[in-house]
């Protein structure tokens, strides 16, 4: 799964034509122009069994209580107002529309890669997913892209300030339609922040491998397997919203489900 997830970023400046977008129009659109129809959203957010902390969380508390032991959701630690504006649909299409992006299939162990223009992905492939669609037939835009073409955007992102000792961050950026997501997998620690939309997370500690089919989507797992799980086999879970970032420790199993058309960014600590 590491191949899908890692992008290291360089920094630059945004071109003048992107900075010239109508800021008032974009900032007053709460979904950034990404939600074409409210009916396409999945309303069920589910329970939340993960602690949510704000600016009162100190770095020492983060290290002692969460960094190596359990996930936590943080909010209000970084101001990403500008980055959110630059991730609106109009802004990204204007700057990146003709550029190629690499899509990967949303299954756990092997991945087919497809290169398409970003505008084609947004207009043709960014759509709600059916529960019976296999992961190998689901093209997912997350990571695995040319950082030299995206660096001017990512220089404006402000990740959560709490890093692990002796690590540095690498970013992965994604946009996905309702019902899409990544099935259970694990890798190193990091954060995932929602910029637009809602993303539901399901997590298990390293010693508790979940039961799942590697080529079935998270949506099908939620429909077919999740309801019958006994209480002691339920995952740790929560839905995060814009401005919230979820921290996941090293080797924790996790799966995601986008409840809306979502724009999101992860910071992997390696």
CATH number at residue 210: 2.60.120.650
Quote the pLDDT of residue 25.
41
pLDDT digits 0-9 by tens, 195-224:
999 999 999 999 999 988 877 889 999 999
The answer to whether residue 16 is domain-embedded is: no
Residues of the domain holding 194: 45-269
The answer to whether residue 36 is domain-embedded is: no
> Coil, strand, or helix at residue 14?
coil
CA distance 111 to 120: 20
> Coil, strand, or helix at residue 140?
strand
The answer to whether residue 69 is domain-embedded is: yes
The answer to whether residue 186 is domain-embedded is: yes
For the stretch 36-43, contacts whose Cβ atoms lie closer than 8 Å and that sit 24 or more positions apart, written own/partner, are 36/261, 40/128, 40/177, 40/178, 40/260, 40/261, 41/178, 41/198, 41/259, 41/260, 42/178, 42/179, 42/257, 42/259, 42/260, 43/259
Q: Specify whether the CB–CB gap between 177 and 261 falls below 8 A.
A: yes
Q: Are strands 253-258 and 199-204 parallel, antiparallel or unpaired?
A: antiparallel
CA distance 157 to 229: 38
The answer to whether residue 99 is domain-embedded is: yes
Number of domains in the chain: 1
**Proportion of the chain above pLDDT 90, given as a percent:** 61
The answer to whether residue 165 is domain-embedded is: yes
Residue with tokens 């039961």, as numbered in its chain? 211
The answer to whether residue 19 is domain-embedded is: no
Local confidence band at 193 (pLDDT 50, 70, 90 cut-offs): very high
The answer to whether residue 4 is domain-embedded is: no
CA distance 90 to 30: 13
Quote the pLDDT of residue 187.
93
């Amino acid at each position: 799964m590491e191949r899908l997830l890692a992008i290291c970023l360089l920094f630059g400046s945004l071109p003048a034509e992107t900075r010239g977008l109508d800021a008032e129009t974009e900032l007053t659109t709460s979904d950034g122009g990404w939600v074409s129809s409210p009916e396409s959203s999945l309303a069920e957010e589910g329970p939340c069994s993960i602690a949510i902390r704000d600016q009162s969380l100190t770095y020492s508390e983060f290290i002692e209580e969460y960094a190596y032991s359990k996930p936590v959701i943080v909010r209000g630690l970084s101001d990403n107002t500008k980055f959110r504006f630059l991730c609106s649909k109009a802004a990204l299409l204007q700057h990146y529309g003709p550029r190629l992006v690499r899509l990967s299939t949303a299954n756990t162990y092997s991945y087919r890669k497809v290169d398409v223009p970003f505008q084609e992905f947004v207009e043709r492939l960014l759509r709600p997913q059916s529960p019976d669609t296999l992961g190998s037939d689901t093209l997912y835009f997350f990571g695995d892209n040319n950082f030299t073409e995206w660096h001017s955007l990512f220089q404006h992102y402000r990740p959560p300030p709490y890093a692990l000792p002796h690590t540095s961050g690498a970013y992965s950026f994604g946009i996905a339609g309702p019902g899409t997501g990544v099935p259970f997998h694990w890798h190193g620690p990091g954060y995932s922040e929602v910029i637009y939309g809602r993303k539901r997370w399901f997590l298990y500690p390293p010693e508790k491998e979940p039961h799942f089919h590697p080529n079935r989507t998270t949506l099908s797992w939620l429909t077919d397997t999740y309801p019958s799980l006994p209480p002691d086999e339920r995952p740790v879970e929560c839905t995060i919203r814009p401005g919230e970032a979820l921290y996941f420790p090293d080797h924790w199993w996790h799966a995601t489900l986008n409840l809306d058309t979502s724009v999101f960014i992860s910071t992997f600590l390696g």
